[in-house]
A and B are shown apart, each in its own frame.
Chain A
Amino acid sequence: MKLQHYLGGLEGLDPIPLDTRVFAEAWEERIFGIHTAMMALSPQLNLETTPSTFNSEWTWADLRKGAESMHPFDYFKFRYYEKWLGGISAYFVAKGYITQVELDARTETFLMSPPVMPKGGDAAVDTRVRTYLLIGDDPKRERSTQPRFAIGDAVCVADPKSVDHTRLPGHLRNKPGIIDGVYPDAYVYLCDTGPDGIGKAMPVYSVKFDPETLWPGNTEQNFTFYADLFEAYLEPAIAP
């Protein structure tokens, strides 16, 4: 069990930090931009090839795996984009694009005097990044099988083996819900999560939960919780 998968409903936390800025520190936009460029240049996308030397896959799933593998205290200790900076730096080192020694050395240099940034590069790289942002990476596929569930069906959320990455919120495991919507067609996920069950195209449902069943006696009144769930995460409800 990973705390990162079980954030929903966690008690004892502080008031919400009401910071409406996207980036809490100015430097954070640089790592956001690097991540977005990596997604756009990732070779599995069906986009025009460019002279970029980026030739290894990078998706949200890779970023999320990093955050989900952290020590839970560190997950709370580091701000959102600090986690990105750590995960993405480690990825470029692990894949051999850069070495830790040169990253540390350049960091030292930039701490001593204002950063001198290299210029130039092939404009086709930036054109591809823009194209990715404008058209995205559509996860929808044609359905090969009929959805297992229909609106109104009672379901129970599955409890698959905990792996390095999931799209199943922990607070919903083993909980009863009602199918509230069946999305058209089927949806792939960015990677195969193995025994967790998602990856290949499958129906996605909007599932309605009574918060009283999620946190008995410890939630609010006149409140309904909805989650979008892949079909692999749902089982038929067992008759009472």
Chain B
Amino acid sequence: MQRFEYPNDRETVNAARVRALEALLIERGVITGDTVDKIMAIFATEMGPFNGAKLIAKAWVDPSFMKLVAEDTMAAVEQMNFVTKGAGAEGEHMRAAINTPEVHNLIICTLCSCYPWPILGLPPYWYKDPSFRARAAREPRKVLSEFGLDIAPEKEIRTWDSSAQIRWFVVPERPAGTDSFSEEQLAALVTPESMMGVAIVKPPGA
């Protein structure tokens, strides 16, 4: 629902203005003509949810690695062959919240949009929208149902508000019917939404 009035050329002016700003910054030697494209390429290929999916698949097939993810998340991340190793902007100190049959976890940032870049990349729009940030704090079940996820009343929901220097992600439960799956096949099932707690990982074909 649109609650405010906007000019008809809202997006064309925004687009022209941001390119004007970028052009001036290149001319003044602040950034180069390649800077923004190179940053976006890093998020497309090196820092993104494809990393988190690999980590979760490994945790599903290796119980000792799952234990490490739970107890010393950064040591587990360091074992993965990510370009950021055990560091990376917005991922210097990451923690995992592990879903179980008894507990469902949800990550939020009520003050802004803190997010573990090295393994999840950049957050989807809804995560940054004030409606999600406000509502998930008080009525997570209702919010999750809007995402199509109904959490049984007997299952505890834990919401993690990232207000200090720690960045959180969720380790979803391994779906049934995947016993014969390779790590690669399992990783392909893991969505960004499942690593934020607004979805579960579904078995293939479900």
Chain A interfacial residues counted at CB < 8 A: 109
The residues of B with any CB-CB pair to A shorter than 8 Å are: 1, 3-4, 11-40, 42, 47, 83-85, 87-93, 110-113, 117, 121-126, 128-135, 137-143, 146-147, 153-166, 192-193
Given contacts A53-B28, A76-B3, A89-B17, A220 and B140 within 8 Å (CB-CB): yes
Whether B154 contacts A222 by the Cβ 8 Å rule is yes
* Cβ of A111 to closest chain B Cβ, rounded Å: 5
Roughly how many angstroms separate A116 CA and B26 CA in the complex, as a whole number?
A: 12
| Residues of A contacting B123 in the complex (Cβ-Cβ under 8 angstroms) | 22
C-alpha spacing A34/B92, complex, angstroms: 21
Nearest-CB residue, chain B, relative to A116: B23
A133-B47 in contact (CB<8A): yes
A15 close to chain B: CB less than 8 A: yes
> A-B pairs with CB below 8 Å: how many?
318
A residues in contact with B90, CB < 8 Å: 136
B146–A16 contact, CB under 8 A?
A: yes
The verdict on A34 contacting B161 (CB below 8 Å), with A10-B134, A15-B146, A52-B29 known, is no
Known: A20-B124, A117-B23. A228 touches B1 (CB 8 A): no
Q: A137-B89, A226-B160 are in contact. Are A30 and B113 (CB under 8 A)?
A: no
Do A223 and B35 touch across chains, with their CB atoms under 8 A apart?
no
Known A111-B12, A220-B141; contact A126-B32, beta-carbon cutoff 8 A:
yes
B33 touches A121 (CB 8 A): yes
Decide: A85 near B17, CB < 8 A? Known: A18-B146, A77-B4, A80-B113. Answer: yes
Chain A, range 69-113, C-beta contacts under 8 Å to B: 73, 75-77, 80, 82, 85, 88-89, 92, 97-98, 102-103, 106-111
Check if A109 sits within 8 Å of B83, measured CB to CB. no
> Chain A residues near B1 (CB, 8 Å)?
14
Q: Are B138 and A222 in contact (CB under 8 A)?
A: no
Complex Cα–Cα for A236 and B112 (A): 27
